[in-house]
Amino acid sequence: MLTMKRWSLAFCHKLHGISLNTFYRKCSYRGSCLLFLQDARGILFGAFLSEIRECAKYYGSAETFVFTFKGPDGKMDPEHPTLHVYRWSKLNSYFIYTDHDVLGIGGGGHYAISVDKDLLRGSSSCCLTFNSPVLSSSEDFIVKAFQVWTFEDY
């Protein structure tokens, strides 16, 4: 059943600090969420996650997807951003991996998105789980913004 939900900011690195442990504490077991990242070159990208919890094995569901506003030229037009969404490819089920050192989304050789434990650096690679390209401005990136939004009943 489709219902309207209120967006709630569960985690923002500027408000809650740069710690993966704090991120897990604020976001675990709150249901599905949207992760938004911005790299130092201004590219916006992220993922819809079926859930978040610290778990040193893959979990998640086929609802999980990744996205970017980066165009084919590798840049983002701030005046006319275009959303590119990459859904589950059905090639594997490596949706979400979370432990005390890394937040990883996707798998099969490389993460679509990974962020290190201090939330300052990350990487994005071509990923089999979503058949996605590099989502950030380059494979290795510096995190400029890191936010997670959850959905609550009105």
How would you write 22-72 as a 3-class SS string? HHHHHHCCCCCEEEEEEECCCCEEEEEECCCCCEEEEECCCCCEEEECCCC
Answer yes or no: is 126 within a domain: yes
Asked if the model's pLDDT at residue 2 lies above 80, the reply is no
Answer yes or no: is 75 within a domain: yes
- Residue 122: which domain range? 8-149
Answer yes or no: is 27 within a domain: yes
Which one-letter amino acid corresponds to residue 97? Y
Instruction: Say which range, 43-52, 78-87, 94-103, 125-134, has the weakest mean pLDDT.
Output: 78-87
* Residue 152 pLDDT: 86
Mean pLDDT for all residues in the chain = 93
Answer yes or no: is 2 within a domain: no
Answer yes or no: is 154 within a domain: no
Instruction: Say which range, 25-29, 75-79, 122-126, has the weakest mean pLDDT.
Output: 75-79
| Tally of domains within the chain | 1
Task: Please state the rounded mean pLDDT for residues 60-77.
Answer: 88
Answer yes or no: is 1 within a domain: no
**pTM, entire model:** 0.93
